[in-house]
Structure 1
Amino acid sequence: MNLIPLNCRNCGAPLQVPSDLKHVTCMHCGTQLAVVHEGGAAYTEKLDALTERTDQIEDKLAVLHREQKLAALDREWDKAQEGFKVRRKDGSTYLPSKAGSVLAGVLGVGVGLFIIMIGIGMPGGSPGGMFVLFGFVAMFLGVGGTVWQYHRADAYEQAKSRYEQRRQQIRRG
């Protein structure tokens, strides 16, 4: 058995420790020590100091893990948001809103009523009837578009609420 000479990290007392030993208790002060081997050197370290450093490392690792989870969740949300966007004729996109969909529906119905009123005001014949028909089509499309966009906006708001709740859960740990 090969003994290595070390000193207690707490009281400085000399120790003779087998080279394969990982832990030792100082016979002079009773401190529990870890035997650390680095390269060709060996030294002792108090176990409570190691425990404190290990706890600090664990805390930092937990923070990093939480930040990594938040970043992954944010990336997923960015991708999910794209699926809710509505594309305009010019290629630009926007996220639907309930208020915007209702406003668009009111405008669609208003335009439809206006076209119907023009058709009703025309003296008899086919052009007036066509205006009335186009007015009803405009109203139908306005209401249908409103219902579709309102449901889409509602689905987006629910998904956003779930995302925000999940984000808060991750932040709390």
Structure 2
Amino acid sequence: MKVSRVCCQGCGADLQIDESVRFATCNYCHAKLEIVHDTSVTHTRLMEKIEQTTCRMAGNLRVIELQNDLERLDREWAVRRESFMQTSKNGHRYIPSTVGSVISGIVFSIIGVMILGSVSQMARSGMFGLVGLIAIGLGIWSAVSGYMKASSYQSAVADYEAARRELSERIDGSREG
């Protein structure tokens, strides 16, 4: 068993270390030391610096993981948001709104009532009366359906924003800690 003489990086004291030892504590300053056995020399390295560097790297890794989670959340939201979008007759994509849905339902219903009103003054009401009832039915269905879609979208937006806010706060907390 070969004993090497090394210098403590904490206080400079001479230490005698067995060559098989990898870690030691200085008898004088109680510094935690890593014993580095190179081909030509044996020396010490303070473990506190290594531990600090390791902790800093772990913190940086945690921030990167959280940033990746945030980016994934944003990508998933973009896909989900697209599923809520509707297409107009001109091909334009838009997000449904509760106000727009109710207004379109009212317009359809008014048209249906106007058709029924004009049909009631005609001698033969036949098919026109049915068209008026269908327009009123479409108006009600359009209002309810659009309102439900808009409400679902607003709920999804609130969930997404809450999740994004939580991740952002965790990122900020990891950067500070």
Q: Give the TM-score range, shorter chain.
A: 0.7 to 0.9
Q: 1:125 aligns with which of 103, 123, 126?
A: 123
2: distance between equivalents of 1:35 and 1:87?
Answer: 69
- Secondary structure at 1:10's aligned position in 2? coil
Q: TM-score, normalised by structure 1?
A: 0.80
- Secondary structure at 1:45's aligned position in 2? strand
Show structure 1 runs of 5+ residues with no match.
none
What do the CA deviations read for 1:67-99 (whole angstroms, capped 9, x no partner)? 111111111111111221212233332111111
Q: TM-score, normalised by structure 2?
A: 0.78
1: distance between equivalents of 2:58 and 2:38?
Answer: 23
- Secondary structure at 2:15's aligned position in 1? strand
Tell me the CA shift for residue 147 of structure 1: 0.9
Instruction: Tell me, yes or no, if the aligned pair for 1:119 and 1:130 is still in contact at 8 Å.
Output: no
Tell me the CA shift for residue 156 of structure 1: 1.6
If asked which structure has higher relative contact order (CA below 8 Å, sep 6+), I would say: 2
Counterpart in the other structure of 2:174: none
Show structure 2 runs of 5+ residues with no match.
171-177
Equivalent residues in 2 for 1:155-166, closer than 5 Å: 155-166=152-163
Distance 1:138 1:36, change over 3 A: farther
What do the CA deviations read for 1:101-127 (whole angstroms, capped 9, x no partner)? 111112212222333344445xx333x
Counterpart in the other structure of 2:44: 44
The one-letter amino acid of 2:132's match is G
Structural RMSD (CA): 2.6
Q: Percent identity?
A: 31
Distance 1:10 1:93, change over 3 A: same
The one-letter amino acid of 2:100's match is G
1: distance between equivalents of 2:160 and 2:28?
Answer: 59
